């Protein structure tokens, strides 16, 4: 009986590793939904209200079922506080990830970037608003602004569709 129980548990663990996650697919940053949330809930300075929304709506994130992904961001220009402009070039950053836990409305993920810039915060708690919208907490790196960036599903991956 104990052998059957152990076999059942191992089978369930193996199956759970093969099932598709709701995060698999392509997601686009939603500028309007993010801006609406920031203006309603975040603690923003006047400069942040002007500059932060320009960061959003320019990125597509892909989470593949094999544990790899990418972030593609369009070139953007952000106003600096001194009146100058900060030009950020188009980027395409590859990453690998591991899902540490997944529940109905949230997911904990560990992302491995090769770029040092992202190495300090590899863990994310992703909150699903619905099956086609998720959000992540954002910070300016200096203070807690109580913000969230929202992403809308563009498409789901083929492997995730079939499961």
- Residue range 77-121, pLDDT digits in tens: 988 888 899 898 999 999 999 999 999 899 999 988 876 655 566
What is the CATH classification number for the domain harbouring 45? 2.40.128
Is 94 among the domain residues? yes
| Residue 79, domain extent | 24-162
Is 13 among the domain residues? no
pLDDT at 59: 94
Is 14 among the domain residues? no
- Residue range 42-56, pLDDT digits in tens: 888 888 888 888 889
Cβ contact 65:159 at 8 Å: yes
Cβ contact 101:78 at 8 Å: no
SS3 assignment, position 99: strand
Please state, in angstroms and rounded to a whole number, the distance separating the CA atoms of residues 47 and 28.
25
11 has pLDDT over 60:
no
CA distances in angstroms from 126 to 15, 23, 73, 104, listed in the order given: 23, 9, 20, 11
């Amino acid at each position: 009986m104990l052998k059957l129980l152990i076999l059942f548990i191992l089978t369930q663990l193996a199956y759970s590793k093969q099932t598709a996650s709701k995060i698999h697919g392509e997601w686009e940053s939603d500028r309007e939904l993010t801006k609406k949330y920031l203006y309603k809930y975040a603690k923003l300075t006047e400069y942040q209200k002007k500059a932060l929304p320009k960061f959003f709506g320019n990125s597509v994130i892909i989470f593949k079922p094999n544990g790899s992904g990418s972030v593609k961001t369009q070139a953007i220009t952000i106003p600096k506080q001194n009146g100058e402009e900060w030009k950020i070039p188009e980027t395409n950053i590859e990453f690998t990830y591991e899902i540490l836990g997944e529940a109905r409305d949230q997911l904990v993920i560990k992302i491995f970037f090769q770029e040092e810039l992202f190495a300090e915060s590899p863990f994310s708690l992703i909150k699903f608003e619905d099956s086609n919208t998720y959000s992540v907490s954002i910070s300016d790196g200096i203070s807690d602004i109580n913000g969230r960036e929202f992403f809308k599903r563009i498409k789901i991956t083929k492997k995730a569709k079939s499961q």
